[in-house]
């Protein structure tokens, strides 16, 4: 697991915490971080592989809540279940 974050990783986490959200969708970061869609895709993919964020499904990622090391820690499971149940509800409709 990574021990240091790069500039874009830090900006992504700071932006999500500032916004007060525990999730990010593709396309949400291109404007605020001033990156291209390709850079955004690579950034999210790299962070998911490093287990910094969790990929729920294509285009939807969970960002760790402040105070937890990884998205899989017990405090984040409630948020994870809420997002996943919303995804399942969207696909059923």
pLDDT digits (tens, 9 = 90+) for 11-56: 999 998 888 888 899 999 999 999 999 999 999 999 999 988 999 9
What's the per-residue H, E or C state across 18-85?
HHCCCEEECCCCCCCCCCCHHHHHHHHHHHHHCCCCEEEECCEEECCCCCCCCCCCHHHHHHHHHHHH
Domains and CATH numbers, the chain: 7-92 (1.10.10.10)
The pTM of this model reads 0.70
49-70: pLDDT as tens digits: 998 899 999 999 998 865 544 4
- The Cα–Cα gap between 1 and 53 comes to 12
């Amino acid at each position: 697991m990574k021990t240091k974050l790069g500039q874009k990783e830090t900006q992504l986490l700071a932006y999500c915490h500032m916004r007060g959200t525990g999730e990010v969708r593709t396309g949400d970061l291109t404007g605020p971080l001033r990156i291209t869609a390709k850079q955004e895709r690579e950034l999210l993919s790299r962070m998911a592989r490093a287990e910094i964020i969790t990929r729920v499904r294509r285009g939807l990622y969970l960002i760790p809540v402040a105070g937890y090391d990884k998205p899989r820690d017990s405090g984040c499971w409630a948020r994870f279940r809420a997002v996943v149940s919303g995804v399942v509800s969207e696909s059923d409709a």
